Structure 1
Amino acid sequence: MKENTPRRTFIKQIGILATGTLAVPTIIPGSALGKNGFVAPSDRINLAFIGAGNQAGNDVRGFLDDPRVQITSICDINKQSPGYWDGKVAGREFIMKMVDDYYSEKHGKKYGSTKGFLDFREIVEAKDIDAVEVVTPDHWHSIPVLMAAANKKDIYCQKPLTLTIGEGRAMSDAVKKYGVIFQTGSQQRSGKEFRQVCELVRNGRIGELQTVVCGLPGGTPDFGKTGHLTETVPVPKDFDYDTWLGPAPEAPYSPSRTHVNYRWVLDYSGGMVTDWGGHHPDIAQWGMGMDHTGPVKIQNPSSVWSDHPVWNTATEFYFECLYENGVKLIVSHEAKQGVTFIGSEGEAWVSRGNYKVTPEKLDDTVIGPQEINLYKSDNHYRNFIDCILSRKEAIAPCEVGHRSITIAHLGNIAMMLNQDLDWDPVKERFTNSFAANQFLNRQMREPWGSLYRKYLV
């Protein structure tokens, strides 16, 4: 793979009835009283969303379908605008209306009690909110998570979990200290096909595991239909761009920089390497049995970086991660999309909705009760709520999400420096490169840096 030169420098409770005065006599629906199969309002989990953009709409729908949940609040610094997936509209008021419309239809009565917030700190400090979902751009994950954990809120946080390895360690330590339930939005762990393949691999059905190959998409797709809008223009009304930048460096506003296309800017994300790094490498670690550790070497990095005026992430990439047991994990945009496990006696490939085992007879084997049976979840959202109620660990807890996205961060660092790196997965430090260790954390713009440090444990 040819590297372009020079590459871009980057060295409890809200009721379900509408507010207002009710005429007398009043017939209160059974749903409001917890009758007729409904969960009583006092028993529901009050859930708030921090972020109302690209993924928020999907996740809101996932939680609205759970009668144990009441979505009470939506926080976003953008009131409403286009520029999200496929150029569509999203934002605080858009998602609030989605929630209100759902509850209105479900209960047969006008509902308008979903609260809107501009400042996430009001959400994480609210006494009547039990859990939050953080579904902001990557550079805005760590601070709300640290504050929510300190305020004893259970947390669902979208992938990629962090912008840096240091932030992931801080988040995992906070979640552990405060004993909150945490779910990483790496939803493939709740897919039957991924669990089945990982069980086959973990139980030796393909023999001794030798190599794992993760095929991730390449490029920088213009998801928001704003890629051509690179010129500096005035910030739109009702969009708090300075807060959107938050801990990231100051930068001139252009539509190509924000909303869904933020993922192609290294100040906010890590390109396709991290965008899909929370998915396939996560499954690779699961199948390898490496959920709480990582590789010891990152080698043979090769990359091409975007020459777009604003975007600067890798468009083509290849790197290898070598584990202490000799297993090699390859991450490449050119490999078959999905995860391929290669063993001494067979192979297993899996992607969303499909998998294939070679030879085919291996697929007919049954994993017995005395063998390795992996955590079973058939719905990522419901698993989070189940665990809030049971206080058991979720299928994708913070430490696991941190270790998985670390693979992507390690690859990006090796490719940016264009050198092999030795990694200590216990101390989470590079042992052969001072320059690489400078990427473990990023300097945060004030006042956000001070707020981040305040909540470190």
Structure 2
Amino acid sequence: MSSNSNVSRRQFLKTTTAAAGLMAAPMFIPASAFGANERILTGHIGVGGMGRGNLGKFLDKAVAVCDVDSKHAQAAAKTVLDKKNREVEIYGDYRKVLDRKDIDAVVVSTPDHWHALTTIHACEAGKDVYCEKPLSLTINEGRKMVEAARSNKRIVQTGSMQRSAANFRHACELVRNGYIGKVHTVHVGLANTNDPGKLPADSDAPSNLDYDFWLGPAKVRPYNEKRVHYNFRFWWDYSGGQMTNWGAHHIDIAHWGLGKDDSGPLSVEATEVKFHPEMAHEVPEACRITYDYGDGVKMIVGQGQKDIQMGTRFIGDKGEIYVNRGVFKASDEGLQSMKLKDSDIRLIESNNHHQNFLDCMASRELPICDVEVGHRTATACHLGNISCRLGRKIAWDPVSEKISGDAEAAEMTHRAHRAPYVLG
């Protein structure tokens, strides 16, 4: 992202078009041509908290780091230098990373409101993409990301890395194969919203942050230290609170276990919604949201609900399974060590989410949390937030991907992007 915040629409579109035009020449050589992923090179867009963590998984392949906060970018470059004794290029403008012909893939760890543009432009530039969860800021963005990945034949992995943990996979395989009977209810528990304390007065942005480019497609509003970096996730312009933060993890596991990676609910209804009394942040602090899938299965997402634990609980007519990070509990103790039969459904096995992405770059097979999967999970999160914000039930068609009978709710499935940071 640029050190010059005064990017004109013409300059932005000219640069983007140039990057997309490079697709005429072969920019990606499958890693399988060289063996063991040795020749894959990565660029990293957004290298703050989660971005630094993702960088650590690709240290041997990273050749470029990019951030609108120069301190983040410099610290990330120092990490590579300290751990690998080599320098990487530092950028403030992600389009310059996409212009590099030697880079095969980018890792997108920006705030959520930048996920769509960076991912779509990367696909158009011939790069494969590892994009942090939640995949999108809106439902419309997510569908456009899927379309960009498919039309440009790109591998796009969503960073919902719980799919690459053995306990989550085992739980979902047991559920899929009926070991707890017919599932009728799934509980998904969210973390409480971080209390930011009293919102300070707006101020000038620090010199190390290109704030206008940080805002990007979001509407212009004054800088406030409680709305940027980690705290971005608690403001509607940039994210969707703990629903899109932890919900993107635990709803993802619910969909995996229920076999609904390519579908979604028919209705969504939020109740018991509470917001911060002084609006120190915009997103809910508590809620209870019921998703009806139309086949006898209901998913209840709870934040601040005593009966719903953080994680995912599958409840069937013959038993229950609860799974969370490092946790597997079942009503039948034997389920934890149970071996599947040869005839049972087996799910994709991955024990390393980042390596799965690299492996799929080589094989060109869809990764364990493909862009379509990430989009469907994010869609459920966005629908829950729409119901919370409007205070009413939402009817959803997962085939047409449209809200019916509610024009105001339907309008919230997309959002205008500030020029020149617009979706095509």
Which residue, out of 346, 369, 372, partners 1:399? 372
Cα offset for 1:392? 1.2
Cα offset for 1:160? 1.1
Aligned to 2:47, what secondary structure does the other structure show? coil
**In the alignment, is the contact (CA less than 8 A) between 1:206 and 1:362 conserved in 2?**
no
Matches of 1:47 and 1:139, distance apart in 2: 22
**Are 1:383 and 2:361 counterparts?**
no
Which residue, out of 275, 282, 297, partners 2:245? 275
Which residue, out of 45, 51, 55, partners 2:50? 55
**Are 1:354 and 2:327 counterparts?**
yes
Q: Which residue of 2 aligns with 1:33?
A: none
**Are 1:92 and 2:73 counterparts?**
yes
Q: Which residue of 1 aligns with 2:25?
A: none
- What amino acid is the match of 1:174? A
Aligned to 1:290, what secondary structure does the other structure show? coil
Cα offset for 1:364? 4.4
Matches of 1:413 and 1:422, distance apart in 2: 11
Q: Which residue of 2 aligns with 1:126?
A: 100
Unpaired segments of 5 or more residues in structure 1?
1-38, 81-90, 105-110
Q: Which residue of 2 aligns with 1:314?
A: 284
Cα offset for 1:359? 2.2
**Are 1:288 and 2:254 counterparts?**
no
**In the alignment, is the contact (CA less than 8 A) between 2:47 and 2:76 conserved in 1?**
yes
**Are 1:75 and 2:48 counterparts?**
no
Count of residue correspondences: 388
Cα 1:412–1:387 shift into 2, 3 Å: same
1:129-168 correspondence runs (5 A): 129-168=103-142
Cα offset for 1:220? 2.8
Cα 1:204–1:115 shift into 2, 3 Å: same
1:313-344 deviation digits (Å, cap 9, x = unpaired): 11111110000212000000121111000001
Cα 1:289–1:267 shift into 2, 3 Å: same
Matches of 2:50 and 2:136, distance apart in 1: 16
**In the alignment, is the contact (CA less than 8 A) between 2:188 and 2:310 conserved in 1?**
yes
Matches of 2:189 and 2:118, distance apart in 1: 31
**In the alignment, is the contact (CA less than 8 A) between 1:320 and 1:331 conserved in 2?**
yes
Q: Which residue of 2 aligns with 1:27?
A: none
Cα 1:42–1:327 shift into 2, 3 Å: closer
1:291-440 correspondence runs (5 A): 291-309=261-279, 311-333=281-303, 334=305, 335-440=308-413
- What amino acid is the match of 1:266? W
Matches of 2:347 and 2:36, distance apart in 1: 34
Identity of aligned residues (%): 39
1:32-43 correspondence runs (5 A): 43=38
- What amino acid is the match of 1:348? I
- What amino acid is the match of 1:55? M
Which residue, out of 164, 167, 182, partners 1:193? 167
Matches of 2:379 and 2:287, distance apart in 1: 16
**In the alignment, is the contact (CA less than 8 A) between 1:220 and 1:272 conserved in 2?**
no
Cα offset for 1:260? 0.5
- What amino acid is the match of 1:98? T
Cα RMSD of the aligned pairs, angstroms, is 1.6
Cα offset for 1:365? 3.2
**In the alignment, is the contact (CA less than 8 A) between 2:276 and 2:285 conserved in 1?**
yes
Aligned to 1:261, what secondary structure does the other structure show? helix
Q: Which residue of 1 aligns with 2:13?
A: none
**In the alignment, is the contact (CA less than 8 A) between 1:301 and 1:420 conserved in 2?**
no
- What amino acid is the match of 1:381? H
Aligned to 1:244, what secondary structure does the other structure show? helix
Cα 1:307–1:245 shift into 2, 3 Å: farther
- What amino acid is the match of 2:151? K
Which residue, out of 222, 230, 239, partners 1:260? 230
Cα 1:308–1:267 shift into 2, 3 Å: farther
Which residue, out of 83, 93, 102, partners 1:102? 83
Which residue, out of 208, 212, 218, partners 1:242? 212
Cα offset for 1:196? 0.3
- What amino acid is the match of 1:95? A
1:198-223 deviation digits (Å, cap 9, x = unpaired): 0000000000110000011122344x
**Are 1:117 and 2:88 counterparts?**
no
Matches of 1:229 and 1:325, distance apart in 2: 44
Matches of 2:40 and 2:51, distance apart in 1: 18
**In the alignment, is the contact (CA less than 8 A) between 2:51 and 2:108 conserved in 1?**
no
Matches of 2:395 and 2:419, distance apart in 1: 33
**In the alignment, is the contact (CA less than 8 A) between 2:199 and 2:280 conserved in 1?**
no
**In the alignment, is the contact (CA less than 8 A) between 1:75 and 1:118 conserved in 2?**
yes
Which residue, out of 221, 242, 250, partners 1:251? 221
Cα offset for 1:232? 1.5
Aligned to 1:340, what secondary structure does the other structure show? strand
Aligned to 2:262, what secondary structure does the other structure show? coil
- What amino acid is the match of 2:70? K
Aligned to 1:133, what secondary structure does the other structure show? strand
Matches of 1:234 and 1:43, distance apart in 2: 45
Matches of 1:79 and 1:53, distance apart in 2: 10
- What amino acid is the match of 2:64? S
Matches of 1:241 and 1:308, distance apart in 2: 25
Cα 1:152–1:320 shift into 2, 3 Å: same
Matches of 1:445 and 1:205, distance apart in 2: 50
Q: Which residue of 2 aligns with 1:45?
A: 40
1:387-442 deviation digits (Å, cap 9, x = unpaired): 11111111000000010111111011011111111100011111121110010101
Aligned to 2:41, what secondary structure does the other structure show? strand
**In the alignment, is the contact (CA less than 8 A) between 2:188 and 2:247 conserved in 1?**
no
Cα 1:229–1:304 shift into 2, 3 Å: closer
- What amino acid is the match of 1:331? V
**In the alignment, is the contact (CA less than 8 A) between 1:215 and 1:332 conserved in 2?**
yes
Unpaired segments of 5 or more residues in structure 2?
1-33
Aligned to 2:413, what secondary structure does the other structure show? coil
